[in-house]
Amino acid sequence: MTMIRPAPLDVERIRAEFPILSETVHGKPLVFLDSAASSMKPTAVIDAMADTMRKQYANVHRGLHWMSERTTDAYESTRDAVARLMNAPSRDEIVFAKNSTEAINLLAHSYGSLMQPGQAVLITEMEHHANIVPWQMLRDRAGIELRIARITDAGELDWADYESKLADGRVALVAMTHMSNVLGTYTPAARIAAAAHAAGAKVMFDGSQAIVHRRVDVQALDADFYVFTGHKLYGPTGIGVLWGRMALLDAMPPFMGGGDMIGSVSFEKTTWARVPHKFEAGTPPIVEAIGLKRAIEWVEAVGYDAIAAHEAALTEHALARLADVKGLRVIGQAQDRGGVVSFTLDGAHAHDVATLLDRNGVAVRAGNHCAEPLMRRLGVDSTARASFGVYTTLGEIDVLADTLERVREFFA
């Protein structure tokens, strides 16, 4: 059987759609390797948001005039785009938040209120703070146990430990990253969900990184909840998504109260709007949602198969080039990994490495990457992190490696 491979990306054509990539930094061409923190935006997204504000802006859901109705249609059509992107069963299961962090806090508050003292939430050692702190807050206010599944030295989920943490049947929710923002590790999501369900638990995946690089099908994963944020997916800040199974969302109380999330209000009693509006109090991120829709359409036009193949090639090239830099250690050796490479350099603090790279036009992230417990597990206090996007080139990886050689000599 002949395997059909995706056509290679025309990366230069794609880069031409990102105006910011033609900028210079300290007189050097910009080499942007910080997409895991926030991606750059294509012209299509910028124009969609600007055109909304120029030509059709009004508040949504409440107006009977033409401008409001037109803007409402544009805003609500984003639910259809998100549902299509994730293969969600219903557009009404798409809840808008301002980012993944708010989506997880919503879940911790609303789904967490249905949990009983003595039940547990199970996370892992490689979670972002956004998938740690809300569960700690739930633990402290409601008597919920917080369990931590270990990872291996390679940076993969310790499966035996994960199963052992599920074994007593007290875990009500597994909340786990789909792709680590530090290690690039993809977790085996479908297998994780199957084990969780067998133990009577629901499962949520933090897809903030994963959905940028690979196609996500929430039905194939058999997830119960899935969150992601728009600003990493080539869209704007201020817009994120919580997808959940309708039966679960229906059972959950609202997260915040106010306008647009109500059925009726009196001084004696308030009733709630139907899902998803029950969870969307106040004026929503209208322009940002319209920008997210355009970003989704843009990603779909490029194609996930081509994106995944391109970024796999980038990651392979980066690991090979960085292996030749004396004194550099790549953190994490997961077999299934995405376009995120964290590293340390002997004798140099990560902040100093990032500063010197910046002086040569190379943008990377440095610090603990909102994952302090993972840093401690790995025995480091910080790392530098290079992360790739659809616009990243092999030549930019070479610039990174060559510049790191000069940085290394500075600290020698």
pLDDT digits (tens, 9 = 90+) for 309-340: 999 999 999 999 999 999 999 999 999 999 99
Q: pLDDT tens digits for 91-141?
A: 999 999 999 999 999 999 999 999 999 999 999 999 999 999 999 999 999
Of 194, 281, 370, 380, which one is the catalytic site residue? 370
Q: What pLDDT does residue 63 have?
A: 79
Q: Is 166 a catalytic residue?
A: no
Pairing state between β 262-265 and 270-272? antiparallel
3 has pLDDT over 50 = no
Q: What pLDDT does residue 1 have?
A: 43
> In the chain, helix, strand, coil percent, each to 5?
45, 20, 35
List pLDDT tens digits, range 46-96. Answer: 999 999 999 999 999 977 898 999 999 999 999 999 999 999 999 999 999
pLDDT, average across residues 153-170: 98
Cβ contacts of residue 40 below 8 Å, gap of 6+?
18, 20, 21, 32, 234, 389, 391
Domains of the chain: 11-41+303-411 (3.90.1150.10), 46-301 (3.40.640.10)
| pTM greater than 0.75 | yes
Per DSSP, the residues of 332-384 read ---SSB-SEEEEEETTB-HHHHHHHHHHTTEE-EEE-TT-HHHHHHHT-S-EE
> 1-15, 177-191, 246-260, 340-354: which has the minimum mean pLDDT?
1-15
Q: Which residues contact 352 (CB under 8 A, 6 or more apart)?
A: 411
